[in-house]
Amino acid sequence: MRGLGAGTLSLEALVLLLAIQPIRVVGGDLGGATIAVIVALAVAAVVLAGMMRRHWAWHAGTVLQGALMLAGLLHWSLLALGIIFAVVWGYALHVRRVILG
């Protein structure tokens, strides 16, 4: 189960970092603060991916999804990514609940 959570968070971090340039090109008015928020969310996802053996990391991952959706106030595409990864994270939590009981 840790691998599922870690993989989901690692993929999220990669997508966030790779999304910076397309957001800028497509019409995003990304300032330094917005880029810093994106990088901070990606770093938090990587750190949490490494902490999946701790029970609280699953709850922190849920909070991270909310923070990403909240970052949608900075740019609409971050809200879209937040919704997509919240659904994926919800599925990971569902699978965890089914397997671990």
What is the total count of domains within the chain?
1
Q: Who's near 34: CB < 8 A, 6+ residues apart?
A: 28, 74, 75
Cα dihedral value 47, 50, 54, 58, nearest 10: 60
What global pTM score does this model have?
0.90
Q: What does residue 27 show for φ and ψ, rounded to 5 degrees?
A: 130, 20
pLDDT at 10 over 90: yes
HSE, side-chain direction, 13 A CA sphere, residue 52: 17
Instruction: Give 31-55 pLDDT, tens digit per residue.
Output: 888 899 999 999 999 999 999 999 9
Asked whether 37 and 43 are in contact (CB, 8 A), the reply is no
- Give the domain extent around 25: 2-100
